[in-house]
């Protein structure tokens, strides 16, 4: 155990579980859990030593556990191995009086201990823009992340058919005569460029200029 290791107890339904943070390792004392469930610790320790994976993860740390009178060598397993041990215990082969506690530990113990190590300052979340009295375009990128983009209050969303229909009806777009004139002139200029380009493409290769004609 390194000099920076920290010791703590975690409450699990009124029972104290001993945990140690040693560098990036999250270690759990196994005997208190075994005792709290009502299992024979000597038998469970033998089972851990027989397991091909659990046996390689055992940490022996000399520490005085809560309720003990002195420091002793205690068996610890990494948190991510805890369920490997718990779910290897067959409930039907345990005494009836221990079965409810075993099931409770299987269901909840890992989550409670994991939450202990997650009690850190949460990462700063991006400020969520207020949607009140504003307009937003909400979409999703290829990774499924939500994109929220502000749009002007006078912006309109329509497909091509709706746009053409609204241009014909002077009451639909809600724009001024000057804006309608600019729209019409822009559309005519765009149409002229398209027709010029099509005429250039239709000209035989030997008679083409390098670029299509661009006339005002």
Quickly list DSSP for 14-80. Answer: TEEEEEEEETTEEEEEHHHHHHHHT--HHHHHHHHHHSTTHHHH-EEEEE--TT-SS-EEEEEEEGG
Class of residue 58 by CB neighbours under 10 A (exposed 0-12, middle 13-18, buried 19+): middle
Which helix (H) or strand (E) segment holds residue 6: the answer is strand 6-12
Greater confidence, 174 or 75? 75
pLDDT in tens, 15-37: 989 999 888 889 999 999 999 99
Quick count: other Cβ atoms within 10 Å of Cβ 111? 8
Q: Which pTM does this prediction carry?
A: 0.53
Q: What integer pLDDT is reported at residue 67 of this predicted model?
A: 82
How far CA 12 is from CA of 100, 101, 105, 213, in Å, comes to: 14, 11, 9, 82
Read off the pLDDT of residues 54-76 as tens digits, 9 standing for 90 and up: 999 999 998 888 888 888 899 99
């Amino acid at each position: 155990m390194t000099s920076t290791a920290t010791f703590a107890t975690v409450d699990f339904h009124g029972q104290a579980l001993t945990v140690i943070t040693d560098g990036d390792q999250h270690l759990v004392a196994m005997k208190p859990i075994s005792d709290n469930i009502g299992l024979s610790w000597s038998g469970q320790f033998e089972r851990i030593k027989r397991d091909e994976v659990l046996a390689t993860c055992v940490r022996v740390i000399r520490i005085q556990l809560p309720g003990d009178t002195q420091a002793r060598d205690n068996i610890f397993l990494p948190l991510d191995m805890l369920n490997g041990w718990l779910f290897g215990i067959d409930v039907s082969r345990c005494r009836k009086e221990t079965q409810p506690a075993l099931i409770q530990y299987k269901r909840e113990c890992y989550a409670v201990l994991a939450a202990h190590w997650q009690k850190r300052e949460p990462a700063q979340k991006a400020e969520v823009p207020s949607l009140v009295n504003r307009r937003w375009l909400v979409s999703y990128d290829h990774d499924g992340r939500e994109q929220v983009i502000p749009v002007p209050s006078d912006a309109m969303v329509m497909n091509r058919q709706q746009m053409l229909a609204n241009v014909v009806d002077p009451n639909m777009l809600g724009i001024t005569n000057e804006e309608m004139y600019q729209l019409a002139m822009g559309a005519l200029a765009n149409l002229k460029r398209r027709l010029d380009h099509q005429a250039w493409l239709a000209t035989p290769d030997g008679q083409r200029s390098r670029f299509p004609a661009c006339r005002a």
